[in-house]
Amino acid sequence: MSIQFTYGMREEEFDTIIRFVSREELLSENVGDAQWVHPQLDASLRQHFENKLFKAEPKETLCLATLGLLSASYVIYVGVPGPGMNTDSLRDAAAAAAKAAKRLKAVSVRQILPGYLSIISQESLISEAAQALTEGYLLGTFTRKSEKKDGEKGQSTIQSVSFNSSQASAQESAPWEAGIRRGTVFSQSVGYARDLVNLPGNRLTPEMLAEEAESLALTYGLDCEVLDEWSAAEQGMGGLLGVGQGSANPPRMIVLHYNGAPQDEEIWGIIGKGITFDTGGISLKKPQGMEAMISDMGGAAAVLGAMRIIGELQPAVNVVAVIPTAENMPSDRAIKPGDVIAMMSGLTVEVVNTDAEGRLVLADGLTMAIRRGATKLVDVATLTGAVGVALGDIATGAVTNDETLLQEVILASKKAGERIWQLPAYPEFRKQLDSDAADLKNSGGRYGGASTGGLFIGAFAEEKPWVHLDIAGTAYLERGRSWESKGGTGVMVRTLGELLIP
């Protein structure tokens, strides 16, 4: 899909016209004089509203056939908040519009811009609005790839969307085009991450994920190193090797480097959990829902999506991206409860639950990032079921040792419209990880599980500023909502993008 900004009322051919409308507009005393698209169609809109067939609630849509009144075949009215309109509501409205247009099998869409956008003078605000609208359209029409015989069924037919303003001038198009460009890159990178998360486990082993990272690096000129199981053993990666030893598909440690600011000593370390399938190992999971464990590499997908954004936009920033990837399988070689392993950092861990494997590979991932020069760390992982109990599939949980860094991450998440909620990191939670057999154990039990899981990873941050993002509840949805798709959501790709490229 291509998206462009146009100014003036062009007589171009569109098969669908979209107009946002608020309840306040429809309740206005002058509503009888209001013109949104066409007098007769607007009269039908008002009639639907009076009959309570359309309430103009946020994200609600009303599709009307034009019956020859316009060259377009359909007009779609989309409900939006009134005075409280912001980038989140713009993104939601655009996603609702895109889905409605997709149902109509629209090909070319004209989006009439809300009037208030035409009077914004600050270029940064215009760009943010353009980015939000673009993300709504592109993410809202995302369709999961499948291996069905009729694989094209359900794909969007929309080829172009034009954001049209009658009040803007050619001089004002630059911030719109910049926002559309950024929104396109961010959305396509989310789609890339979603496609990775949705791949079946037999289509994405650790080695295949490493090959995907190498391909991404080649495309964008990034430096890439992949450590196999022998190199990992030489460097003492006991966490990665311990988790991966039960599978016929050996683990990999993937490292991507981007040096966009050679004179800057600051290096971001972003680490993504890459468990390509998680059975729980010897601590076997229940069969029900285990098929969704293809999503256990959602953190790795988020990191690769963020690196795709960096590759496209080439910002002045330094990043080392680390993805420890393995399969967690039960076998005669698998790690067992009670085993003690030595980590890359030199700390020892008593494994009390083999289903708490993500934190083991991430611990080695943090150590790798630090040894590659990272000065501050953000890890993204589908880490605990406990975070889903606490926050559902609505918000990502966060644990940190540095409030300033966390506030940077939260600010980025607000720009992206992805919710993050801070979890407590009380000393009592860290004490739950004490072990009699080793420096620490990999599970502190059920109580406070989201916090203790994060704090285990934090034990390997080596006093570097660090934020852990637990996306176990948000990385994979059973039902889509707004611009978030059913299946893999690509969550945290855009948050990382906003963080690294403000």
- Between the ranges 101-105, 171-175, 318-322, where is the mean pLDDT highest? 318-322
Residue 328 within a domain: yes
Asked if the model's pLDDT at residue 185 lies above 90, the reply is yes
149 and 216: one domain?
no
Neighbours of 43 (CB within 10 A): 11
Same domain, 397 and 437: yes
**Partners of residue 21 on adjacent β-strands:** 79
Mean pLDDT of 328-338: 97
CATH number at residue 31: 3.40.220.10
User: What is residue 193's predicted lDDT score, i.e. its pLDDT?
Assistant: 98
**pLDDT of amino acid 117:** 67
User: Per mean pLDDT, which range of 23-27, 62-66, 71-75 is the poorest?
Assistant: 23-27
Q: Give the pLDDT score at 33.
A: 58
What pLDDT score does 174 carry?
86
pLDDT of res. 167:
61
Task: Out of 2-16, 115-129, 139-153, give the one with best mean pLDDT.
Answer: 139-153
Annotated binding residue at 148? no
- Hey, which bits of 279-375 come out as E strands? 318-328, 340-342, 348-350
Mean pLDDT (whole number) for 395-412: 98
285 given a catalytic annotation: yes
CA distance 208 to 210: 5
Query: Could you say which of 166, 182, 200 is where a domain stops?
Result: 166
Q: What letter does residue 333 receive in the DSSP assignment?
A: T
Q: Of 131, 149, 166, which residue is a domain's last?
A: 166
Same domain flag for 152 and 109: yes
The yes-or-no verdict on residue 333 having pLDDT over 80 is yes
Phi, psi of 469 (to 5 degrees): -115, 115
Q: Please check the confidence at residue 87 and state whether its pLDDT lies above 70.
A: yes
**Does a structural domain hold residue 245?**
yes
Could you tell me if 338 and 249 lie in one domain?
A: yes
Q: Which helix (H) or strand (E) holds 105?
A: none
Least confident of 114-123, 198-207, 268-277, 390-399: 114-123
Do residue 151 and residue 246 come from a single domain? Answer: no
| Cα–Cα dist 277/206, whole Å | 9
CA distance 294 to 245: 19
Pairwise CA distance, residues 139 & 98, whole Å: 9
Q: In the predicted model, what is the mean pLDDT of the chain?
A: 93
**Annotated active-site residue in 23, 46, 285, 371:** 285
Residue 305 resides in a domain: yes
The answer to whether residues 258 and 221 belong to one domain is yes
Asked whether the predicted pLDDT for residue 151 surpasses 70, the reply is no
Find the catalytic residue in 194, 359, 415, 441: 359
Of 476, 453, 154, the residue nearest 291 (C-alpha): 476
Measured in degrees and rounded to the nearest 5, phi and psi for residue 378 equal -135, 120
| b/e code 99-110 from CB counts within 10 Å (16+ = b) | bbbbebebebbb
Whether residue 218 sits in one domain with residue 116? no
Residue spans of beta strands (DSSP E) within 100-145: 108-112
- Rounded CA-CA distance 412/394 in Å is 17
Q: Are 42 and 35 in contact (CB under 8 A)?
A: yes
pTM for this one?
A: 0.94
The reply to whether 355 and 478 lie within a common domain is yes
Residue 412 covered by a domain: yes
* Residue in 292, 257, 261, 263 with CA at minimum distance from that of residue 278: 292
Residue 267 to residue 33: CA distance in whole angstroms: 58
Distance of CA 221 to the CA centre of its chain: 23
21 is a domain residue: yes
Q: At what angle do helices 173-198 and 123-140 cross, to 10 degrees?
A: 30
Instruction: Tell me how far apart the alpha carbons of residues 91 and 75 are, in angstroms, rounded to a whole number.
Output: 19
pLDDT at 75 over 60: yes
Q: Are residue 148 and residue 96 in the same domain, yes or no? A: yes
Residue carrying the six token digits 């171009």: 12
156 and 199 in a single domain? The answer is no
Per-residue tokens: 368: 């790798």
Tokens standing for residue 488: 């893999």
Q: How confident is the model at residue 331 (pLDDT cuts 50, 70, 90)?
A: very high
The residue with greater pLDDT, 4 or 199, is 199
Q: Do 162 and 196 belong together in one domain? A: no
| Token pair recorded at residue 109 | 């869409």
Element (H, E) at 134: helix 123-140
- Provide the residue range defining the domain that includes 112: 2-166
Q: Can you list the alpha helix ranges (DSSP code H) found in 255-357?
A: 298-313
CB 359 within 8 A of CB 444: no
pLDDT of residue 25: 87
- Evaluate whether residue 186 is within a structural domain: no
Question: Of 475, 261, 250, which is closest to residue 361 (Cα–Cα)?
Answer: 250
Q: Quick count: other Cβ atoms within 10 Å of Cβ 36?
A: 18
Separation of CA 117 from chain center: 26
The predicted structure's pLDDT at residue 6? 74
Read off the CATH number of the domain in which 378 is found.
3.40.630.10
Domain boundary among 97, 131, 166: 166
Q: Specify if 171 maps to a domain.
A: no
Active-site annotation holds for 286: no
Residue 278 assigned to a binding site: yes
Q: Is position 185 within any domain?
A: no
Total domain count, the chain: 2
pLDDT band at 119 (very low <50, low <70, confident <90, very high): low
Same domain flag for 301 and 447: yes
Outline where DSSP puts E strands in 260-375: 268-272, 274-278, 318-328, 340-342, 348-350
Give the percent of the chain with pLDDT over 70.
94
| DSSP conformation class of 115 | G
Mean pLDDT across 268-296: 97
pLDDT of residue 114: 78
CB 260 within 8 A of CB 314: yes
Compute the distance between CA of residue 455 and CA of residue 468 in angstroms, rounded to an integer.
Answer: 9
Interval 61-66 mean pLDDT: 96
Consult the annotation and say whether 52 binds a ligand: no
